[in-house]
């Protein structure tokens, strides 16, 4: 026991903490903003007759969901009364024209007699008065004839545009009054979608905030609409044409209005369809796309230096979106960023880094 070796105490070396890191690589991106909305027609109107009468004929296309072309006859009202009114107006015009012609001859004769002192001044003025009264009667008869012709034309209801029938409220044999709705129709050439966007998201869109009415063509952001319909993933391209003047009182959202042209589309977008929208926004240069797990205390991240030690770094956050952050300042290309969850991180802590691929995705597009 007296000659046994003596053990010298040694300090325990802590094992480095294994962490996952990603390499910071700057990118040039185009920001996008996501939204959702329901498709509505750009033009929708009610088919209303301008004359009263009984419906005597209706087109086969005048049914709910029916398709029609601009100028196509959709319905006809019994025109007998209006044909009779037209004949009476024509007869009244012929009668007033004859009276006007006779009064004109009398006026010329009275002027001749008055010049030769064979008629008094009062006789000439009376002939002039009769001529003017007959002129007014002829103008009134001509206006009545034009109105009768228009009323006869209005017995035929013609499609004002190419589109579809949303609702029908009358049928053959039913009497309709002037101003009564016959059907509700809408144009399918162009549709609109109201897209709610939070006001803070407008910072990522290149939309003039002081613009009133429709945006200039050069300032209209592009938008991509997608929907699942009949087992297919459908996609349409459109543009943001305007912002609505008021902010929604309940949601505090700004309403952007997207317009899509159906002309030439392989599959037209349907009214009432629910779609997802990706709106193209501003360009962002030299930004870093990181997973949200790399963020510490709202505005800092952990960097692994060349000695494999953790260092706290404050950053400038451009945008937070779902599980991804965009960093606009505080990083340099090639720096290693810790994305592992560290319960107690101490500045200068030794770690064992393992580099992984950055699979972060954001509603952005690379340029």
pLDDT, tens only, 17-57: 888 999 988 988 888 899 999 999 999 999 999 999 999 99
pLDDT band at 343 (very low <50, low <70, confident <90, very high): confident
Q: Look up tokens 């007759």; give the residue.
A: 49
pLDDT of residue 295: 87
Note whether 176 and 76 are within 8 A (CB).
no
pLDDT band at 201 (very low <50, low <70, confident <90, very high): confident
Selected residue with higher pLDDT from 357 and 89? 89
Is the pLDDT assigned to residue 188 strictly greater than 70? yes
Q: What spatial distance separates the first Cα and last Cα of the chain, rounded to whole Å? A: 78
Please give the Cα distance from 41 to 167 (Å, whole number): 14
pLDDT of residue 29: 86
pLDDT band at 362 (very low <50, low <70, confident <90, very high): very low
Per-residue burial over 226-256, b if 16 or more Cβ lie within 10 Å, else e, is ebeeeeeebebebbbbbbeeeeeeeeebbbb
pLDDT of residue 82: 95
- Segment (H or E) for 304: strand 300-304
Please give the Cα distance from 197 to 17 (Å, whole number): 43
Which value, to the nearest 10 degrees, does the dihedral of the CA atoms of residues 119, 125, 129, 134 take?
40
pLDDT band at 71 (very low <50, low <70, confident <90, very high): very high
Q: What angle do CA 302, 303, 306 make, to 5 degrees?
A: 150
Sorted by sequence, the CB contacts under 8 Å of residue 143 that are 6+ apart come out as: none
Note whether 219 and 212 are within 8 A (CB).
no
Please give the Cα distance from 215 to 344 (Å, whole number): 52
What are the structure tokens assigned to 299, written together? 């505005």
Selected residue with higher pLDDT from 292 and 209? 292
Mean pLDDT, range 117-139, rounded to an integer? 90
Is the pLDDT assigned to residue 269 strictly greater than 50? yes
Is the pLDDT assigned to residue 211 strictly greater than 80? no
Q: Which one, of 76, 367, 1, 40, lies nearest residue 194 by Cα?
A: 40
Ordered structural domains, the chain, with CATH: 17-28+285-366 (2.40.420.20), 32-42+188-283 (2.40.30.170), 51-77+155-187 (2.40.50.100), 80-153 (1.10.287)
Q: What phi, psi does 345 have (nearest 5°)?
A: -95, 130
Mean pLDDT, range 96-107, rounded to an integer? 93
Q: Across all residues in the chain, what is the average pLDDT?
A: 88
Selected residue with higher pLDDT from 230 and 76? 76
Selected residue with higher pLDDT from 66 and 298? 66
Please give the Cα distance from 339 to 230 (Å, whole number): 41
* DSSP secondary structure letters along 198-252: EGGGGGGS---TT--SBPPGGG--EEEEEEEETTEEEEEEEEEEEEEEEEPTTT-
Mean pLDDT, range 214-236, rounded to an integer? 89
Is the pLDDT assigned to residue 365 strictly greater than 60? no
pLDDT of residue 210: 63
Mean pLDDT, range 237-244, rounded to an integer? 91
pLDDT of residue 263: 84
Mean pLDDT, range 329-350, rounded to an integer? 87
Please give the Cα distance from 316 to 325 (Å, whole number): 10
Please give the Cα distance from 223 to 244 (Å, whole number): 17
pLDDT, tens only, 6-16: 777 776 676 78
pLDDT of residue 361: 57
């Amino acid at each position: 026991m007296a000659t046994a070796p003596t053990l010298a105490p040694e300090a325990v070396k802590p094992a480095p903490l294994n962490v996952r890191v990603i390499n910071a690589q700057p990118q040039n991106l185009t920001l996008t903003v996501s939204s959702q909305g329901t498709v509505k027609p750009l033009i929708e109107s009610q088919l209303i007759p301008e004359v009263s009468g009984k419906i005597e004929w209706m087109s086969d296309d005048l049914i709910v969901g029916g398709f029609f072309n601009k100028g196509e006859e959709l319905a006809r009202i019994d025109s007998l009364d209006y044909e009779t009114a037209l004949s009476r107006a024509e007869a009244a015009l012929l009668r007033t024209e004859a009276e006007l012609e006779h009064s004109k001859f009398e006026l010329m004769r009275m002027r001749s007699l008055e010049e030769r002192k064979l008629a008094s001044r009062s006789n000439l003025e009376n002939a002039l008065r009769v001529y003017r009264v007959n002129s007014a009667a002829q103008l009134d008869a001509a206006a009545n004839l034009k109105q009768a012709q228009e009323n006869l034309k209005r017995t035929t209801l013609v499609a004002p545009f190419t589109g579809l029938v949303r609702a029908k409220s009358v049928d053959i044999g039913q009497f309709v009054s002037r101003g009564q709705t016959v059907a509700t129709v809408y144009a399918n050439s162009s549709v609109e979608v109201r897209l709610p966007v939070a006001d803070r998201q407008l910072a990522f869109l290149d939309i003039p905030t002081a613009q009133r009415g429709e945006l200039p063509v050069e300032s209209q952001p592009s938008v991509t609409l997608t929907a699942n319909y009949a087992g297919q993933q459908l996609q349409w391209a459109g543009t943001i044409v305007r912002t609505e003047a008021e902010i929604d009182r309940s949601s505090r959202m700004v309403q952007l209005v997207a317009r899509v042209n159906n002309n030439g589309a392989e599959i037209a977008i349907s009214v009432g369809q629910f779609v997802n929208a990706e709106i193209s926004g501003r360009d962002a240069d030299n930004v870093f796309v990181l997973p949200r797990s790399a963020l510490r205390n709202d505005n800092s991240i952990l960097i692994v230096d060349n000695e494999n030690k953790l260092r706290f770094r404050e950053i400038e956050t451009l945008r937070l979106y779902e599980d991804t952050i965009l960093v606009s300042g505080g990083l340099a290309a090639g720096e290693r960023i810790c994305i592992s969850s560290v319960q107690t991180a101490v500045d200068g802590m030794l770690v064992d880094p393992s580099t992984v691929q950055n699979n972060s995705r954001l509603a952005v597009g690379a340029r």
